[in-house]
């Protein structure tokens, strides 16, 4: 599936990130726990070389703990600091703040030795809709930023004071510039990080079916009363449309509506807690 997923304003957004990084001491890199690999942005990774980074695996409530543990292990073995979070809950607040303090301890101590009380500036970044603004609100314990379940909610940058010596910068979601990796684009689209305006929803639904078929993910078959996933993706789409009675007219099925139903089921966990970037893909 070809997705023209790099809208013009993204170039501007990436330039803004480059600019903001000049005043940042560290990065809070918000990844979606379902797509820990696909929600990395290689262009952004290059920009932040040399800065301390805390990787936040957000929406951890949407995947199985055991699946997430493989990614945590992988990051930790590589010496990367990471923490799994559900930003909608306040339960993770203290842990993230303590990890953030740990990340910046060398810097704070360096300044303290000079008698300076350093204010740490952390840039909160990630692809659209990963929960950056929600995380900031969670850390602050109050609604300081605008959030919403669609990509592109945060427009400009916004500094938020977390404590007397920590400031957080909320930024608009940014996508990787190249679309050399179609799988990445598809997965980001599946979780809702790419604006619907640039997507062919029926085609995306078919990609979702391909994904579940390839993993032979049986809860998918169960959800739609299919006896197996041993059919062509289009056949599966057709069966689901028929079972649901999604008709365009008396001769044609409504595949777009079918696709939307599948994606909605995926995003609302009605297909279970599905990790799209599975642990067996860690080292690929």
Q: Which is nearer to ligand GTP, 60 or 104 (CB)?
A: 60
Q: Is 38 in the site for ligand GTP (CB under 6 A)?
A: no
Q: Which is nearer to Mg ion, 193 or 258 (CB)?
A: 193
Distance CA 143, CA 224 (A): 39
Which x/- pattern, by CB under 6 A, does the window 4-33 give for ligand GTP? ------------------------------
How many whole angstroms from its chain centre is CA 9?
A: 19
Size of the site for ligand GTP (CB under 6 A): 24
Judge contact between 159 and 123, C-beta under 8 A: no
* Strand stretches in the chain, DSSP E: 26-32, 53-58, 81-84, 120-125, 158-163, 166-170
Q: Which is nearer to ligand GTP, 100 or 221 (CB)?
A: 100
Which x/- pattern, by CB under 5 A, does the window 95-134 give for Mg ion? -------------------------------------xx-
Distances (CA, A) of 84 to 9, 56, 76, 114: 30, 6, 12, 34
151 binds, among Mg ion, ligand GTP, none (CB under 5 to 8 A by kind): ligand GTP
Report the length, in residues, of the chain.
Answer: 284
Q: What is the SS3 assignment for 137? A: helix
CB of 126 to ligand GTP, least distance (A): 6
Q: Is 149 in the site for ligand GTP (CB under 6 A)?
A: yes
Q: What is the SS3 assignment for 280? A: helix
Q: Which residues contact 22 (CB under 8 A, 6 or more apart)?
A: none
Q: Is 51 in the site for ligand GTP (CB under 6 A)?
A: no
Q: What is the SS3 assignment for 149? A: coil
Q: Is 87 in the site for Mg ion (CB under 5 A)?
A: no
Distance CA 145, CA 232 (A): 45
Kind and range of the H or E element at 160? strand 158-163
Q: Is 193 in the site for Mg ion (CB under 5 A)?
A: no
Q: Which is nearer to Mg ion, 146 or 234 (CB)?
A: 146
Residues that bind Mg ion (CB under 5 A): 132-133, 153-154
Residues that bind ligand GTP (CB under 6 A): 58-59, 61-62, 86-88, 126, 128-134, 147-149, 151-154, 172-173
């Amino acid at each position: 599936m070809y997705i023209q997923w790099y809208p013009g304003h993204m170039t501007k957004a990436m330039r803004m990130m480059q600019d903001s990084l000049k005043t940042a001491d560290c990065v809070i890199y918000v990844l979606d726990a379902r797509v820990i690999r696909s929600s990395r942005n290689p262009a952004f990774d290059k920009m932040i070389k040399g800065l301390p980074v805390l990787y936040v695996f957000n929406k951890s409530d949407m995947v199985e703990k055991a699946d997430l543990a493989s990614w945590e292990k992988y990051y930790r073995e590589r010496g990367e600091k990471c923490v799994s979070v559900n930003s909608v809950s306040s339960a993770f607040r203290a842990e993230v703040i303590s990890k953030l303090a740990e990340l910046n301890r060398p810097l704070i101590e360096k300044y303290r030795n000079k008698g300076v009380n350093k204010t740490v500036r952390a840039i909160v970044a990630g692809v659209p809709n990963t929960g950056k603004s929600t995380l900031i609100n969670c850390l602050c314990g109050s609604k300081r930023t605008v959030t919403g379940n669609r990509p592109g909610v945060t427009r400009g940058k916004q500094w938020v004071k977390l404590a007397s010596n920590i400031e957080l910068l909320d930024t608009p979601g940014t996508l990787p510039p190249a679309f050399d990796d179609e799988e990445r684009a598809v997965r980001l689209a599946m979780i809702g990080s790419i604006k619907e305006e640039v997507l062919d929803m029926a085609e995306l639904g078919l990609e979702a079916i391909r994904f579940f078929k390839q993993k032979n993910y049986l809860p998918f078959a169960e959800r739609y009363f299919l006896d197996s996933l041993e059919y062509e993706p289009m056949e599966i789409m057709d069966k689901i449309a028929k079972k649901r009675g999604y008709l365009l007219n008396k001769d044609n099925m409504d595949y777009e509506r079918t696709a939307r139903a599948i994606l909605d089921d995926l995003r609302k966990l009605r297909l279970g807690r599905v990790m799209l970037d599975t642990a067996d893909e860690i080292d690929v």
